[in-house]
Amino acid sequence: VTENIISKQTFIEARTMPRSFNNSGSKFVTSVAQRPSAHLTLRDTSSQGFPPYPIPTPGLHQSCRHVVRSWANQSFGAHLHNMTLSNGKLRVPQDGRYYLYSQVYFRYPSPAASDGDQRSVSHQLVQCVYKKTSYPSPIQLLKGVGTKCWAPDAEYALHSVYQGGLFELRAGDELFVSVSSPTMVNADDSSSYFGAFRLDL
């Protein structure tokens, strides 16, 4: 989906540019190269001796108050171009329309059930994308929810929540992801990711 959006936007820009730009191509290439974009993956920080999810952040919706702070651009395919990342927050450098997307991969290892206990374990898995502006409270842009009922005798159970959308953002806005169940988030490069790219120039 992301590749289709970028390809379509590039094609439209190429058709609408003045002929002098299309002949040399230099200004078009430069403008595309400067477009802010980021694709971040989740790092596993459990072996570093500190929790990736501190106490719940005030001001966020009660169903997803734990900010995901361990995003990085060090894995294969990840990048951070003309944007900055600090403490899990992605900073917008320029005004414009941005496509935002995020997927969180939840993994639930079921505890050993007691003899004769056949009850299922139910969890509500929530992922939210917020933007922080000059206003005191962050603004919720996206929310994805999945309620799963897992048998206690299962070795593990998996579920992913994906969401994306197009938003008008201002320079200085900060984007971040929060979740409901931080201990169930699985840090996997290809399964838990967060990104944004600007569509117009």
Report how far residue 139's alpha carbon sits from residue 131's, in angstroms, rounded to the nearest whole number.
5
Neighbours of 76 (CB within 10 A): 7
pLDDT at residue number 186: 87
pLDDT at residue number 5: 59
Blockwise average pLDDT, block size 10, the chain, 201 residues: 57 48 45 82 64 64 86 88 94 96 85 50 84 91 84 76 95 95 86 92 58
Residues with Cβ within 8 Å of 39's Cβ and at least 6 positions away in sequence, in order, are: 73, 77, 78, 79, 193, 194, 195
CATH architecture observed for domain 37-198:
Sandwich (2.60)
pLDDT at residue number 27: 47
Its pTM stands at: 0.75
Q: Provide the residue ranges of all domains of the chain, joining segments of one domain with +.
A: 1-33, 37-198
Beta bridge partners of 72: 41
Q: How far apart are the first and last CA of the chain?
A: 20
Let me know if 102 is exposed, middle or buried by CB neighbors in 10 A (0-12, 13-18, 19+): buried
Let me know if 91 is exposed, middle or buried by CB neighbors in 10 A (0-12, 13-18, 19+): middle
pLDDT at residue number 127: 93
Report how far residue 68's alpha carbon sits from residue 175's, in angstroms, rounded to the nearest whole number.
11
CA distance to 132, 137, 144, per residue, from 58 (Å): 13, 9, 20
pLDDT at residue number 156: 74
Q: Which of 168, 180, 176 is nearest to 194 (CA)?
A: 176
